[in-house]
Structure 1
């Protein structure tokens, strides 16, 4: 029996090696990659075999048992791109080490947003010696090497070979371009350092622009600067997330949140882009209808990102890409139109937006599989956005500088005018002494009165009422003060124009002068349609009767006011009465009491008198 076993043992070993050889060459000849002398970066995409797993029925054990019977196809792409696909995909390659020393090589899948990646290393006896389950939808610590992309270490002993299997899968059928590289440790370190330096410069430049413009906004309070900061901030977070840095440094234990952030930030980016563009080119003034369309498209992009909250990502991009294209075309068209109108800021915006649009277009064409993966298509958004934000920042600086120059020019013109007037006054001072004295008298009058109505102005109100309060405190006499406000006067101005409103103010002032003729009556125009009345009466009832009489007379003027509930001009009154004025500390308190009573009249359908009494019960 032992002899028979010894007799068949060579045959059994030969059969096993033959089966393994057939496995290592599934469907197509799989040439081994010599990694012993490999230096630099090797693009693996043309060297791998692909297997589409439509039903997601294969696992590594099944591949090891039946790999020779499966339909493997050689990759014909320089960069693997499955775009929108409902299948899982298997990749395999064979590496060998013909040197006398063991080697370690790093396999990098340079796509930070890939959902699921399972890796297996199989030795010459068909045994799994290393395996990994990682991906963007798994915790960051599942990665064997802490890096923003997926890096798998492949150990190959001296004189041996290894076969590597990779299983690529997505959450709901959205693949991005999948570049594969094989390299030694030194080449990977050099590549990582180059990328880190490039991204550090890129993100550092964006952050510097953001902080600079934020500080500039705090200094100038120019709203376009704030909109620019919001626009740049959302774009910064979007790029930081899509390049894998946010998952690595900000939220490594939150893969679901990390996946939601990218589409949601794209939606926020569209909204902040619309707000900034409208503010930057002043579109609300020049094109209000287009502004509404612009915000509508931005809102569509934001709404289309919401399915990401429920785990649907392929649908997000199916909806978002058409919305983003329409939004981009609209902004491009508006910028062209405003540029032809001679708007310098629009011309700067047109150049900046065109550069970014080219970068975004190249990137999405690469995502859709139309363009190949290369340095240009991979970093087109970064290059385009960097140029765009720099140009927009320069445009904002130009805008602020323009405002500054206009202000300086106005100040210079004012100084020149003042100098000219001073010289003229100096030449004519001897001859115009009498005229100047007369003019001074007129100025004094103007300083005390309102130029439109001829009533005392607010400055006189402050001075006279302070004196009156002091006098009434000493004498103990009652003081009655009222604030009158013309009802719905803003609506009247909006309906009939400010010239008609001025005529109403003049007629109301004339009527006031006719009704309040006592020696102690004082009439003030406190501002706009608001008047102050110091009444020379002895009781609250007498003051209220006087105001009611004037209110009725004003309504009887029948000054047409279609937007008022009364159809004519009316007024509301707040009347304050006090004796000794002990309850009134100062003029401001008196004003607030009367103003509060007046607003009570407004609240009770207007066209009425509301009183506030601080008289004793015996009075």
Structure 2
């Protein structure tokens, strides 16, 4: 075979090398048409370090792969202490037969600056957001404690998503990055809300319980425990993003200052409480001074945050916190070796918390997989810790009381009366807590905005109704109502006005559907469910028609609607034989089809559908 001359082989080798480099740098697209509920994007994105902060989105789009993009090998993005800005890029495509919307979540609530862009195939920017916890909370496209970005991909199209991550002064937090469907995000958000509601509710119940005990007993250890638990509660509520979302959404600077300041306060309250709990002034006075000194150092190191300096704060605070934890564990282990029951309780409580913290950070670092155990390990560990410490305080108080009874036998009757009064007050507070828990359970059944039953209750109640009607042979009527052109209303008037409309509609529903068997649900967004207590299809249709007219008579202006006011489309299903209905979901699907039939017929109407029959429209 003839050999090509060197003058020809040189350019060929160069061309092949460039093609190989281009193929390596090209970014594989993520197919989102068949995306599962949640995909961890950490290993699928590309990273670009912008040390001089010289790039903007137009430059990145124009220069493409000519820049030094690097494939990410991190399960969770973590830039630690860095003076650079960082760009994150991923490409998604939709091969499904319909357009899709996917939600991209940055699950770190304390990220300083986030600029996000969605770019189409022609390089045009179709969406952009500028958010972060140093900007007002209403800068977020989705009102959530973390950063959630909606990305829409048309049929047979692709989109590139660019994220610019930057910090105030070079301190990055580990940032889980995931892509999910609306259903997946809703399921995750509901799961997290339930878990955090139970967690913070339990902490608050412990705090109130021990505060009431302190009011009743004036035991100083209880007050120190309440201060310790209270600082931890505020710290976790802030670190998880709930405080910024619900308490001070218009004060991002204060939110950022509070985190390190509260860590310092937490260290001080921890040290003071531990000193009291373990009685260190008596058993180890030298260790007491060291522990309080390290805790004071943690508090002092947090003060520069008031002037806007954060990276130096954590460079000093993290080692101090580690030293403080080690000292407390060491002293507790030493006292446990000397058969101190309180020290053993303290050692077990802190051990459980540290295991939870270790599991969580190993998950953040990508060493352990994401699951319920690793995600909520800190919450479970801290909950167990505070419960054990509360039990230890109860044991300590009981021990002191026994010693006092043995030393003061002459006052036995007085002491007994005090104990009886304490037991009565504890029983009363316990009943109050049980009542609060029952109210919390009731809140979990309803939609917080409208007060109607939520989707979970829809499935439970309708399945129960179906079982009863199958046995009795009675008919069942169910309707789905959707507010017409509600997205246009939100786009025109804002989401706050949209929420007001949802409240007005739900209030009108409660006024109209008052029969004992009527059940009203908010199924999601602007969609409502109505379980009617009616004997016939015409009666149910008449009830819905009255409500439809009443809604139209509210005359809520809606410039984006062809009717000029807010209206609703209704799909009504009549089941004469409930044995033909397998589940609540099957009933919902029939009503939903009827509702979409109403929308196709110019909206603002009621379409009825007997189960398995033909449609009627009103």
TM-score (norm 1): 0.61
SS in 2 for 1:309: helix
SS in 1 for 2:25: coil
Long gaps (5+) in structure 1: 1-21, 417-619
1:255 is displaced (CA, Å) by: 0.5
- CA RMSD of superposed structures (Å): 2.1
Cross-structure match for 1:99: 96
| CA deviation vs aligned residue, 1:144-164 (integer Å, no higher than 9, x gap) | 000000000001111211111
Given that 2:76 and 2:366 are in contact with CA atoms closer than 8 Å, whether structure 1 keeps it comes out as no
Cross-structure match for 2:73: 76
Cross-structure match for 2:155: 158
Cross-structure match for 2:318: 321
Cross-structure match for 1:58: 55
Distance 1:64 1:149, change over 3 A: same
Q: Distance in 1 between matches of 2:139 and 2:181?
A: 22
Q: Distance in 2 between matches of 1:378 and 1:85?
A: 26
| CA deviation vs aligned residue, 1:504-555 (integer Å, no higher than 9, x gap) | xxxxxxxxxxxxxxxxxxxxxxxxxxxxxxxxxxxxxxxxxxxxxxxxxxxx
Cross-structure match for 1:41: 38
Q: Distance in 1 between matches of 2:64 and 2:281?
A: 64
| CA deviation vs aligned residue, 1:207-252 (integer Å, no higher than 9, x gap) | 0100000000010111000000000000000000000000000000
Does 2:356 match 1:359? yes
Q: Distance in 1 between matches of 2:412 and 2:210?
A: 32
1:83 is displaced (CA, Å) by: 1.3
1:68 is displaced (CA, Å) by: 2.4
Which residue of the other structure, out of 237, 246, 254, is the alignment partner of 2:234?
A: 237
Which residue of the other structure, out of 359, 379, 382, is the alignment partner of 2:379?
A: 382
Does 2:187 match 1:190? yes
Long gaps (5+) in structure 2: 1-18, 414-618
Given that 2:29 and 2:90 are in contact with CA atoms closer than 8 Å, whether structure 1 keeps it comes out as yes
Does 2:239 match 1:246? no
Which residue of the other structure, out of 286, 290, 313, is the alignment partner of 1:289?
A: 286
Does 2:327 match 1:330? yes
Distance 1:47 1:361, change over 3 A: closer
1:27 is displaced (CA, Å) by: 6.0
> Does 139-148 or 311-320 show the bigger shift?
311-320
Q: Distance in 2 between matches of 1:183 and 1:373?
A: 17
Which residue of the other structure, out of 131, 134, 144, is the alignment partner of 2:128?
A: 131
Q: Distance in 1 between matches of 2:172 and 2:408?
A: 61
Which residue of the other structure, out of 116, 119, 132, is the alignment partner of 1:119?
A: 116
Given that 1:27 and 1:73 are in contact with CA atoms closer than 8 Å, whether structure 2 keeps it comes out as no
Cross-structure match for 1:177: 174
1:47 is displaced (CA, Å) by: 1.2
Cross-structure match for 1:431: none
Does 2:299 match 1:310? no
SS in 2 for 1:305: helix
Cross-structure match for 1:507: none
Correspondences of 1:370-449 after superposition (within 5 Å)? 371=367, 374-375=370-371, 378-407=375-404
> Does 388-397 or 347-356 show the bigger shift?
347-356
| CA deviation vs aligned residue, 1:25-46 (integer Å, no higher than 9, x gap) | 7962212111112231011111
Correspondences of 1:469-480 after superposition (within 5 Å)? none
1:195 is displaced (CA, Å) by: 0.6
Does 2:268 match 1:271? yes
SS in 1 for 2:91: strand
Cross-structure match for 2:141: 144
SS in 2 for 1:144: coil
> Does 383-392 or 226-235 show the bigger shift?
383-392
Cross-structure match for 1:87: 84
Given that 1:79 and 1:372 are in contact with CA atoms closer than 8 Å, whether structure 2 keeps it comes out as no
Aligned residues: 392
Distance 1:315 1:380, change over 3 A: farther
1:379 is displaced (CA, Å) by: 3.4
TM-score (norm 2): 0.61
Given that 2:359 and 2:368 are in contact with CA atoms closer than 8 Å, whether structure 1 keeps it comes out as no
Q: Distance in 2 between matches of 1:262 and 1:415?
A: 49
Cross-structure match for 2:501: none
